[in-house]
Amino acid sequence: MSVSSEGKPGVIPGNLLDGVQIVTKGGNLVTKDGVSTQESDTSPSTNVFADPEIRDLYVKMYEKARYECRHVFDADLTWTAEEEKKLIRKVDWRNYNHENTIFAASFLVAELPSQLVSKKIGPDIWIPMEICLWSIVAMSQAAMTSRSGFFATRALLGILEGGFIPELILFLSYFYTSKELPIRLSFFWTALSVTGIISSLLAFGIFHLEGAHGVAGWKWLFLLGGLITLIYALGIIIYTPQNLPSLYLTLTLRSFGFCTFNANLLIIPHTVVHIFTLLTITCFSGKFNQRALVAIFQLIWTLPVLIFLAVWPGLISNQWGTYAATAVLLSYPYCHAIVGGWVSSNSNDVAARAPSQHCCTTCLSSSVGSVRPSCTPRMINRTTAGATRTLIATNVLGIGLFLFAKAYYVWKNKVRDKKWNAMTKEEQNDYIARF
């Protein structure tokens, strides 16, 4: 931190006198808030580390704190604000979006092939194998040294995770009826939210391992996170019976000015509410035997918040207000359990369930629905307001699709009932026997 102070070198301004910790021979001050220089910060040559006393102080400080990348610290290195802006833009708007697109596209491409493998060897075998493989890839991310390696691991994770959810729904459909399945699936997505809470707490602790045995904190996060998943997958392989029948809010919060530790903890509140709303909406759907009209409540929940974010002038600049609005938005009642059970009950036979769940997950989960959002900022000139308007339009489209689905199935059921009632009792029994 560098701030300009008026006066001659060696003279301490009165407003800084109380907080001074060190006064260097060059007249620079080190306070509890950072470094105050005697030069003008408007000068491109200003470099607080040009003062050898300040440089030595921070070298010792970085070493004591085992600061990441401290070995490449160069006190003589300078750059312009424009150069830094270009670098940040490249990381935020290119690499990160490329990573999201690569993962989502790989996820989508692998969906159907994964279904075929699951059908061939059985989900009880394939699901644990998938988890083992992606946990190994997750751990290997600790060895990343280049952008190419980063993209490669994201592609592998997308390929290995593609198809996991449809396979799991298919597996569960072997044991539960169409009325029992949705609430069980809601427990599955609840577990996903609980995992988010636990992961945030684990990340908070693991990041404090920074520098332990010469390993960076983010590497420990990948190593331990992948190891936990691998142990869990091995447990599934060992304890699952084999005779059964043959599936980044943190970065946003950090951009608001929250530190890494607090950003991880701030994820927990909306996740807890999300669990409650998910279970509530699924139980409500089962109690009133409604699918589309209940699932649409997810979009009704998010629409007013998106409109608020689109017109609110304090977006991003108001740190806590933006966090509160985002937390409310992400607490929405997730309808995937309802829709997944709905699709399963309409699939009639086991052979049709896996492909139908694949199509459902492709539309609802992180495949096509993730490729579009990761590219949206660039398509709308990288404006927050434009991105929010795009989400509003998508939200309204989703409401229209749910209403269309409701109208279509009401009409389809009337046509079916009319044909069914026109049959004789013998024809009805013959139809049931054949299908």
pLDDT band at 93 (very low <50, low <70, confident <90, very high): low
Q: Which of 31, 2, 26 is nearest to 15 (CA)?
A: 31
* pLDDT averaged over every residue in the chain: 76
How do residues 43-81 score in pLDDT, each as one tens digit? 444 667 777 777 787 788 777 777 767 777 777 777 777
How do residues 21-50 score in pLDDT, each as one tens digit? 566 666 666 665 555 555 444 344 466 777
How do residues 182-232 score in pLDDT, each as one tens digit? 888 888 888 878 888 888 888 888 888 877 888 888 889 889 988 988 888
Least confident piece of the model among 157-166, 356-365, 372-381? 372-381
Q: How far is the C-alpha of 386 from the C-alpha of 30, rounded, in Å?
A: 43
pLDDT given for residue 384 in this prediction: 60
Over residues 1-15, the mean pLDDT reads 42
pLDDT given for residue 303 in this prediction: 93
Q: How far is the C-alpha of 75 from the C-alpha of 97, rounded, in Å?
A: 32
pLDDT given for residue 411 in this prediction: 94
Q: Which of 340, 341, 333, 336 is nearest to 298 (CA)?
A: 333
Cβ atoms of residues 336 and 365 within 8 Å: yes
Cα angle 138, 144, 148; round to 5? 105
Cα angle 228, 171, 197; round to 5? 35
Bridge partners (DSSP) of residue 4 are: 37
Residue 164 has pLDDT above 80, yes or no: yes
pLDDT given for residue 161 in this prediction: 87
Cβ atoms of residues 220 and 209 within 8 Å: yes
Burial of 104 (0-12, 13-18, 19+ CB in 10 A): buried
Over residues 245-258, the mean pLDDT reads 58
Q: Could you state, in order of their start, the residue ranges of all structural domains in the chain?
A: 2-78, 83-246+248-296+335-363
Q: Which of 162, 138, 164, 165 is nearest to 152 (CA)?
A: 138
Residue 168 has pLDDT above 90, yes or no: no
pLDDT band at 240 (very low <50, low <70, confident <90, very high): low
Burial of 90 (0-12, 13-18, 19+ CB in 10 A): exposed
Bridge partners (DSSP) of residue 3 are: 36
